């Protein structure tokens, strides 16, 4: 798919080539989903997806809106919200709700399965992946007669070192 808006600078540390491939793959996946569901295939939706592809972290809708505005994209919050819903329904994004906080999203393809630690003071999100979590998942599920497919664990706490709780500074997600 031709994309005349492809930026020439790399965004957020992904290599240009890697990012281009990722964007093309995600666009293809999204286009297929939109077609199947008979949703409109608008350029704004692809623009949102392109920006998300470059974000190698969690973000919420407001952070994405600010991020895109700073990059000069003219996009409404409503489009961002509806596109995030579509991208989640299509499996491109995973949506996390961390305790009453606004929903956070991340690319499904970003990382293999991981769980989250969240500082309730500064909202810092740490990702971890422990083999023992998978063993616990299997053991607990089999105790109750289930074949475990997946799990989602969120641990809430506060940073050890209050100096690293940068609650008043920029959001850690974007
Ligand atoms: Zn994560
Ligand atoms: Zn903290």
CA distance 77 to 31: 21
CA dihedral for 31, 32, 34, 40, sign (positive or negative): positive
The pLDDT value given to residue 30: 96
Q: Are residues 139 and 101 in the same domain?
A: no
Which residues constitute the domain of residue 156?
Answer: 111-164
How far is residue 21's CA from residue 84's CA, in Å, rounded to a whole number?
A: 21
Residue 90 · residue 29 · CB < 8 Å: yes
Q: Is residue 169 part of a domain?
A: no
Residue 73 included in any domain: yes
Query: Does residue 104 sit in the same domain as residue 51?
Result: yes
129 and 61 belong to one structural domain: no
User: Of 75, 57, 55, which is closest to residue 66 (Cα–Cα)?
Assistant: 75
Please indicate, yes or no, whether residues 55 and 84 belong to a single structural domain of this protein: yes
Residue 3 lies in a domain: no
Give yes or no for residue 169 having a pLDDT over 70: no
**Residue 38 alpha carbon to ligand 2 centre in Å:** 43
128-140 mean pLDDT: 91
The pTM is what? 0.76
Q: Which residues contact 107 (CB under 8 A, 6 or more apart)?
A: 26, 52, 53, 55, 92, 93, 94
CA of 122 from ligand 2 middle (Å) equals 4
Give the integer Cα–Cα distance in Å for 93 and 116: 16
Please check whether residues 101 and 121 belong to one and the same domain.
no
Same domain, 104 and 74: yes
Q: How many CB atoms lie within 10 A of CB 48?
A: 24
Give the pLDDT confidence of 102-130 residue by residue, as tens digits. 899 999 988 878 899 998 888 888 999 88
pLDDT band with cut points at 50, 70 and 90 for residue 99: confident
Q: How far, in Å, from the CA of 66 to the mean position of ligand 2?
A: 22
pLDDT at 78 over 70: yes
- For residue 99, report the distance from its CA to the centre of ligand 2, in Å: 15
Q: What spacing in Å lies between the alpha carbon of 24 and ligand 1's midpoint?
A: 22
120 shares a domain with 41: no
- Candidates 92, 9, 64; CA nearest to 174 is 64
Report if residue 154 sits inside a domain.
Answer: yes
Say which ligand is closest to the CA of 96.
1
CATH classification of the domain holding 67 = 1.10.10.10
- What distance in angstroms lies between residue 106's CA and the mean position of ligand 1's atoms? 6
Instruction: Please tell me the distance between residue 170's alpha carbon and the centre of ligand 2 in angstroms.
Output: 13
Domain shared by 99 and 122, yes or no = no
Q: Are residues 81 and 150 in the same domain?
A: no
Question: Is the same domain home to 89 and 150?
Answer: no
Mean pLDDT (whole number) for 58-75: 95
Ligand nearest to the CA of 124: 2
Residues within 5 Å of ion ligand 2, judged at the Cβ atom? 119, 121-122, 124, 159, 165
List Cβ neighbours of 119 (8 Å cut-off, separation of 6 or more): 125, 157, 158, 159, 165
Size of the chain in residues: 174
Residue 156 lies in a domain: yes
CATH number of domain containing 122 = 3.30.1490.190
Tell me if 9 is assigned to some domain.
no
Q: Report the pLDDT value the prediction gives residue 7, as an integer from 0 to 100.
A: 43
Residue 156 Cα, ligand 2 centroid: separation in angstroms?
10
Question: Would you say residue 85 lies in a domain?
Answer: yes
On whether both 124 and 100 belong to a single domain, the answer is: no
Rounded Cα–Cα distance for residues 22 and 25 (Å):
5
pLDDT per position as a tens digit, 21-43: 999 999 999 999 999 999 888 89
Same domain, 20 and 74: yes
Structure confidence at residue 142 (pLDDT): 95
Mean pLDDT of the chain: 86
- The dihedral built from the CA positions of residue 39, 42, 46 and 48, taken in this order, carries a sign that is negative
Q: Which residues share a beta bridge with 59?
A: 105
pLDDT of 146 over the 80 cut: yes
Question: What is the count of structural domains for the chain?
Answer: 2
* pLDDT higher than 60, residue 159: yes
């Amino acid at each position: 798919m031709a994309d005349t808006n492809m930026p020439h600078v790399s965004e957020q540390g992904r290599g240009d080539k890697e990012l281009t491939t990722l964007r093309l793959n995600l666009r293809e996946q999204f286009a297929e989903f939109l077609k199947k569901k008979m949703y409109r295939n608008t350029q704004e939706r692809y623009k949102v997806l392109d920006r998300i592809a470059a974000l190698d972290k969690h973000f919420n809708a407001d952070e994405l809106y600010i991020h895109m505005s700073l990059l000069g994209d003219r996009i409404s919050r409503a489009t961002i919200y509806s596109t995030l819903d579509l991208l989640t329904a299509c499996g491109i994004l995973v949506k996390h709700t961390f305790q009453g906080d606004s929903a956070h999203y991340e690319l499904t393809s970003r990382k293999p399965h991981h769980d989250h630690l969240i500082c309730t003071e500064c909202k810092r999100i740490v990702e971890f992946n422990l083999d023992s979590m998978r063993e616990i998942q299997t053991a607990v599920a089999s105790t109750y007669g289930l074949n475990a497919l997946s799990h989602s664990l969120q641990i809430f706490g506060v940073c050890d070192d209050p100096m690293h709780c940068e609650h008043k500074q920029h959001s850690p997600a974007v």
